[in-house]
Chains A and B, each alone.
Chain A
Amino acid sequence: MIRTMFTIAAIALGASIAVADQDPVAARRALMKANGDEAKIGVAMMKGETPFDLAKAQKMFATFEDAAQKMPALFPETSKTGGDTAARLEIWQNMDDFRARFDKFAVDAEAAKVSVKDLDSFKAAFNAIGKNDCGGCHEKYRVKKS
């Protein structure tokens, strides 16, 4: 058990060091990819394709919260282009709003992690976060490249 925990901690540490070491564009893409992978599991549960699993739901919200906390630091002035970024220049013109959105995302994800107990509360929380936090920000600040 202890060994498992150490392993997990080591992997987590390694992952966070790896994220910090990479260039910011790659780092934020990796975080968003992780969000997407988790959201995919969430969507399957929401649609009833897989049974509701509270642990999986909480892991998803925890991943969101973690990403929301790390993301704001990953948009330095030097990272406006390159690395196949989908970031719109509006981000740097509205940095306060952009950061505030991640703050809200983190708060919402944390609240959902605590409050979600069953499929119905999960659906409500996931829908709200998806629409307001994910969709709202993608609409304003992300540009599709392919």
Chain B
Amino acid sequence: MRKWLGRLAVIAAGAAIVGLAGFWFVTLPAVVTSSALPPHTPNLANGQTMFNIGGCASCHAAPNSDPDKVDRTRLGGGLALRSPFGIFYVPNISPDPKDGIGKWSEANFVTALWKGTSPRGNHLFPAFPYGSYQHMELDDLRDLFAYIKTLPPVEGRVRRHDLSFPFNLRRLVGGWKLLFLHGGPFAENPSKSPQWNRGAYLVNGPGHCAECHSPRNVLGGIIESERFAGGPTPDGEGWVPNITPAGLQHWSKEDIAWSEKEIASFLEDGINPAGDFAGGAMVEVIRNTSSLSAADRAAIAAYIVTLPPRQGPKPPPKK
């Protein structure tokens, strides 16, 4: 009997080692090497467009108590992002060589945005929305990197994240990626117009709209069947609206229709069809989208109106 138990223990230990090794292997942070990058001449204007649609400044610009006074070119970080897993402190991504990303290679940058892996080979937390950025075109990433390099270096390292166990273990993010990080660069839909495809790319890639406009499961993964159907804000304080036709249709009760034109106009000046001005985090998004070209805003609108209608979670009952 004892012999049998001993053998079982050996087998269990062996299985555990194999399991751990397997986990270690499948959660290895993925990397893009510089040899994988063909020659490229950066287009700074396109880099700036990517910067704006990507909303980089919204999180990475050093915060100010008056959001209108934030200098969107100084990417010193420091903003606190509250979440069910703890508080993330947005890092410095200014070109400062010591505290920012001044020493990063282009491949380091592409790896961070496509794979969610840091130059040191650690998993980045998905509060950085690489689940969307992974769909960006290589040239757009390289233009964006070149643009960020033109911005002023800002000194100062941001404090460490304040996360609860076990969410503070970066290795576990490898498991998160296995579960929720799917798909590579954006694939065009040839049956749709170039405008629609441009919109789909901007919304799902750099724009990362679904990161806030979708409900998440207990592991912080987007619930795919309810993508774009709204949900609680990450800090739990408010509610992000459902932007599928199922959600927007809701407005028709008040005789308000979100046409393509209305959506594009909202992204330009923040005034919704009810004559109301955007509030909360969307004000920051409008700062980004108002800097885009009218053609890009129209493309986003052309795509949004074609989202499949989906019911999301129910907002908390009115008090």
Question: Interface 1/0s, chain B 280-299, versus A by CB < 8 A?
Answer: 10111010000000000000
Q: Give the size category of A's interface with B.
A: 20 to 34
Q: A130-B271, A135-B283 are in contact. Are A36 and B276 (CB under 8 A)?
A: yes
Kindly list chain B residues whose C-beta atoms are within 8 Å of the C-beta of A140: 67
Given contacts A83-B319, A127-B269, contact A142 B275 (CB under 8 A): no
**Structural contact, B319 and A143, CB atoms closer than 8 A:** no
Q: How large is the interface on B (under 10, 10 to 19, 20 to 34, 35 or more residues)?
A: 20 to 34
Query: Which of the candidate stretches B83-91, B100-108, B236-244 sits at the interface with the other chain?
Result: B236-244
With A130-B269, A139-B283, A144-B241 known as contacts, the answer to whether A40 contacts B319 (CB < 8 A) is no
- Among A37, A39, A86, A144, max chain B CB count under 10 A is at A144
Is A43 within 8 A of B275, CB to CB?
yes
Nearest Cβ on chain A to B55's Cβ, whole angstroms: 15
* Interface hub of B68, B277, B283 (most chain A Cβ within 10 A): B277
Known contacts being A84-B318, A84-B319, A145-B316, is A132 close to B277, with CB within 8 Å?
A: no
**Cβ-defined contact, B239 with A138, below 8 A:** no
Q: How far is the CA of A112 from the CA of B269 in the complex (A)?
A: 19
| Cα(A83)–Cα(B318), bound, Å | 8
A134 touching B277, Cβ below 8 Å: yes
Picked from A42, A127, A135, A143, the residue with its CB within 8 Å of the CB of B275 is A42
A14 within 8 A of B: no
Residue A138 contacts which of B237, B274, B283, B315 (CB distance < 8 angstroms)?
Answer: B283
B315 and A143: CB pair below 8 A? no
A143 to B236, CA, bound (A): 11
- Contact flag A136-B68 (CB < 8 Å), given A36-B275, A143-B280: yes
A22 contacts the other chain (CB 8 A): no
The answer for the CA separation of A140 and B319 in the assembled complex, in Å, is 22
Q: Assuming A36-B275, A144-B280, is B238 touching A135 (CB within 8 A)?
A: no
Tell me whether A117 is interfacial, beta carbon within 8 Å.
no
B247's closest neighbor in chain A, by CB? A146
By a CB distance below 8 angstroms, the chain B residues around A88 are 237
Interface check B279, CB cutoff 8 A: yes
6 contacts between A and B (CB under 8 A): A84-B318, A130-B270, A135-B270, A139-B278, A139-B284, A146-B239
With contacts A83-B319, A132-B68, A145-B239 taken as known, whether A138 is within 8 angstroms of B280 at the C-beta atoms is yes
**Interface 1/0 per residue, A28-41 and B, CB below 8 Å:** 00000001111111
A107 to B138, CA, bound (A): 49
User: Is the C-beta of B265 less than 8 angstroms from some C-beta in chain A?
Assistant: yes
Q: Which residues of A contact B270 (CB under 8 A)?
A: 130-131, 135
Residue A47 lies at the interface, judged by CB distance under 8 Å to chain B: yes
Contact across chains for A139 and B275 when beta carbons are under 8 A apart = no
State A82–B317 Cα separation when bound (angstroms): 11
Which residues from A are CB-within-8-Å of B237?
Answer: 88, 143
Contact of A81 with B by CB under 8 A: yes
Contact of B274 among A36, A42, A127, A145 (CB under 8 A): A36
Please indicate the chain A residues that have their CB under 8 angstroms from the CB of B316 in the complex: 145
> B316 — nearest CB in chain A belongs to which residue?
A145
- Nearest CB of A to B266, in Å: 10
For the complex, give the distance between the alpha carbons of A83 and B319 in Å. Answer: 6
**Are B280 and A139 in contact, with the CB atoms below 8 A?**
yes
Bound-complex Cα distance A39 to B315 (A): 27
Chain A residues whose C-beta falls within 8 Å of the C-beta of B315 in the assembled complex: 145-146
Cross-chain contact of A136 among B67, B269, B273, B282 (Cβ < 8 A): B67
Q: What is the minimal beta-carbon distance from B315 to any residue of chain A, in angstroms?
A: 4
- Report whether A82 and B275 are in contact in the complex, using a CB–CB cutoff of 8 Å: no
Q: Are A37 and B279 in contact (CB under 8 A)?
A: no
Please give the distance in Å from A119's CB to the nearest CB on chain B.
16
Chain B CB count within 10 A is highest, among A37, A83, A88, A146, for: A146
Contact (Cβ within 8 A) A146 B241: yes
